Amino acid sequence: MESALRILLVEDDVQLGESLEAALRLEHYAVDWLRSGEPVRATIGATPYDLMILDLGLPEVPGIQVLRQTRADKHDIPVLLLTARNTLDDKVDGLDSGADDYLTKPFEIDELFARVRTLLRRRGEGRSQQLEARGITIDPVDRLVIFEGEMLDLTAREYAILEILIRNAGRFVSRARLEEGIYSWGEEVGSNTVEVYISRLRKRFGSDCIETMRGVGYRISQ
């Protein structure tokens, strides 16, 4: 089954890493967070990612080494560098080593979001970013929802569930998979939370928009 756009975050600063992981999840990205550069090679070799956010100042294995190894392994994943260094030589070195963009700490979270969207949009050039099912159109990069010619303002969790269902249109998606899409790791999940948001989506898009099969999950038809 298809899922949300997946980002690999490589950041050793625990406070910053926790903040970025939480903020990106609220934007409906699937996020894997590594606290050092050593496991990056194996991780991206085993899991397809849409973007890597990489801190240059990592302990043990420096971020620039991680970046060069990633490019040497022929991975074309877009890379956004984070660094406290602000010299021209550092920026040139990072970009020449294969980075796609560069963000200097401290930064505003909205700027990071904008750069993430830009890199994901570039990655999607040449193919449509929009997904559609049952007359509902969504843009996963810009988080837009259009229905019957109107742009709708969904809550974060309404959008997360809708995107998963549309990405898997015509197939049943389990409640557990939907729960993964709206909660970060470790958060408590209410027994009827998914049902509540499914009900809200049906009110927005029609009572027959989402089909339920007891014991199997939910499906939106193509």
pLDDT in tens, the chain (222 residues): 445 688 999 999 999 999 999 999 888 888 999 999 999 999 998 888 899 999 999 988 999 999 999 999 988 899 999 988 777 788 888 889 999 999 999 999 999 999 999 998 887 654 456 888 989 999 877 778 999 889 998 888 888 889 889 988 888 988 888 887 776 544 555 678 889 999 999 999 998 999 999 889 999 987
Is the domain spanning 6-123 CATH 3.40.50.2300? The answer is yes
The predicted pLDDT at position 221 comes to 80
Query: What is the C-alpha to C-alpha distance for residues 98 and 197, in angstroms, rounded to an integer?
Result: 41
21 within 8 A of 34, measured Cβ to Cβ? no
Beta bridge partners of 102: 81
Span(s) in the chain for CATH 3.40.50.2300: 6-123
pLDDT at site 168: 86
Contact predicate 31/5, CB 8 Å: no
**Per-residue model confidence (pLDDT) at position 126:** 43
Q: Where in the chain is the domain with CATH 1.10.10.10?
A: 131-220
The C-alpha atoms of residue 204 and residue 213 are separated, in whole angstroms, by 20
Please tell me the CATH code under which domain 131-220 is placed.
1.10.10.10
DSSP-based three-state secondary structure for 182: helix
At 44, give phi and psi (nearest 5°): -75, -15
pLDDT in the model for residue 125: 56
Alpha-carbon gap, residue 80 to 16, rounded angstroms: 15
Measured CA to CA, the distance from residue 106 to residue 108 in angstroms comes to 7
* 3-class secondary structure, 213: strand
pLDDT at residue 186, rounded to an integer: 44
